Structure 1
Amino acid sequence: MWEYLPLALVVALLALWVVGLHAAHRRGFLEPRHLHPAGPFLMWKTARGRAFIERLSQPKRFWRFFGDASLAIVGLTMIGTTALLIWEATIVQTPAVRENAPSPQLLLGLPGINPLIPLWYGIFGLAIAIVLHEFSHGILARVANIRIRSLGVIFFLLPIGAFVEPDEDEMKVLPRRERARLYAAGPATNMILALLFAFLFSSVMMSSVAPVHDGVGIVSFTPDSPIQAAGAAPFTVITSVNGTEIRSYADFTRVKGTLHANDTIPITTYDGSQYRTFNVTLAADASGGPLFGFFGVDTTTDYYHPLSNP
């Protein structure tokens, strides 16, 4: 019974939010404060920021070029994503993938849910991505001489998004190419910045960061994980397996290749202050090979390497 308490609290909180939003709207409390309900969501609209977008949109030739480049970027991305989905569809039913698939949390790029994304860093990055995405739409709207009615923030208990609201009637008569530029600018901006910051962090800034310890970092565990049952903890680093020092995932893979399912071996981890050694009895994966039962990352600082379930 108690395991459902957090879910019940979330449902009750959401119900109170919806009821309170409806009551505030009926009593006329929201509109004078530029708040507008949209189902369970609440939008705050303002005219502030329109002049800033107008100034940014002045080099129209540059922004038209950026819009055309955005079309190419999102078109190539669409083709690549489609090809990736087709490729994944061909391997998702293989025994190795079915038995060792990542947890649902790892598939969601949301801070606080995905264990690979720190909560506050993730929220900060997501906020920047949303703001730049919407400003890109706004800039291309003004380049196409579309009036911006408002800017705003979307709430669902907490702020969850932002928006730029163009004039819908003017959008309907906009030439197809101009409209496509406007729509493509937002996601293209996010992709360009993602590549830029990935390069900066991996090749420039990370070179000055030293890992806690060389090895393979444990992020999370699979159900019935042998290494977790032995006492290993998340966010620690595997430094030794079966008496062999582990300095990288390549070392881990080499040692794993010498082991078999049901072997009981010593594994040493480091948590930043002390070493701990556990005796782990390995399980068998779908192909009969040894299974440790964790999701990890290589601690090298050259690049960030998310690893599959070893």
Structure 2
Amino acid sequence: MDIWTVALLVLLAYWVGVSWAKARDLLPSFVSSTGPIVTLHTKRGKRLLDKLSKPKRLWRAWGNFGLGIALVVAAGTLFVLVTSAIGTLANPPQPSAVNQPRNALVIPGVSDFMPLSVAPEIVGGLFIGMVVHEFGHGLMCRVEGITVESMGVALLAVLPIGAFVEPNEESQKRADRGARARMFAAGVTNNFVVVVIAFALLFGPVAGAVGRRQR
């Protein structure tokens, strides 16, 4: 059997096990499941959010900056998608390995340009991005006086595929429109900072180290 068949069988067995435990009410109170997706909830970290949210003027200024970033990113993404679609329709690319459907997916072992050996780095990067993104939502919730009920992560077997911050619906409704907008934009803003740091490292120390090796 190839590795994908084995992975599918393991996932199926995992799904059966989770469904069996859920049907018999064996899952802990902080664990819930929907199909093969398991979510882990925790209230830990709420005090840390409260402490970090104290310079409210600073974080509101950052939130307003984030609103601008989110608008620029949204407009830029729409522009790129529309121009790419028009360009593709006007001048269809010649069939090649680069534009094969499987290579459009950033999945190690599926894409021809991404071997399975890089999976740990991809999963690690996704995990960092999700944590930073949701931390931004949680922090801005507390800055704007929105109660955070819990935080957590969504798993497919052992793979982190999502994270979340669960705000209290009533306190979220009581917050004004600007507060809610800053809260929603905070995740994108934090991810933007991670991208800037990653590029700075890539074109700084990493590129320098590669250049010295080649000499």
TM over 0.5: yes
Question: For residues 88 and 94 of structure 1, what CA distance do their matches in structure 2 show?
Answer: 10
Q: 1:54 to 1:105 in 2, by over 3 A?
A: farther
Contact 1:91 1:97 in 2 (8 A): no
Shift of 1:17: 2.4
Query: Amino acid of the residue matched to residue 43 of structure 2?
Result: A
Contact 1:111 1:123 in 2 (8 A): no
Q: Which residue does 1:65 correspond to in 2?
A: 61
Contact 2:64 2:182 in 1 (8 A): yes
Query: Amino acid of the residue matched to residue 64 of structure 1?
Result: R
Q: 1:113 to 1:63 in 2, by over 3 A?
A: farther
Deviations 1:217-244 (A, max 9, x none): xxxxxxxxxxxxxxxxxxxxxxxxxxxx
Q: TM-score, normalised by structure 1?
A: 0.61
Shift of 1:6: 5.3
Q: 1:195 to 1:17 in 2, by over 3 A?
A: same
Question: For residues 107 and 49 of structure 2, what CA distance do their matches in structure 1 show?
Answer: 29
Question: For residues 181 and 54 of structure 1, what CA distance do their matches in structure 2 show?
Answer: 17
Q: Which residue does 1:168 correspond to in 2?
A: 169
Q: Give the number of equivalent residue pairs.
A: 210
Q: Which residue does 2:179 correspond to in 1?
A: 178
Higher relative contact order at CA 8 Å, sep ≥6: structure 1 or structure 2?
2
Aligned 1:1-310 pairs, distance under 5 A: 8-32=5-29, 34-94=30-90, 97-100=93-96, 101-111=98-108, 113-114=110-111, 115-116=113-114, 118-160=118-160, 161-210=162-211
CA-based RMSD of the aligned residues comes to: 2.5
Shift of 1:113: 4.5
Query: Amino acid of the residue matched to residue 140 of structure 1?
Result: M
Contact 2:60 2:143 in 1 (8 A): yes
Deviations 1:59-115 (A, max 9, x none): 111111111111110101111111111111122135551424523344234455553
Question: For residues 45 and 39 of structure 1, what CA distance do their matches in structure 2 show?
Answer: 17
Contact 2:36 2:157 in 1 (8 A): no
Query: Amino acid of the residue matched to residue 29 of structure 1?
Result: L
Which structure 2 segments of 5+ residues have no match? none
Q: Which residue does 1:229 correspond to in 2?
A: none
Shift of 1:213: 6.4
Q: 1:181 to 1:110 in 2, by over 3 A?
A: farther
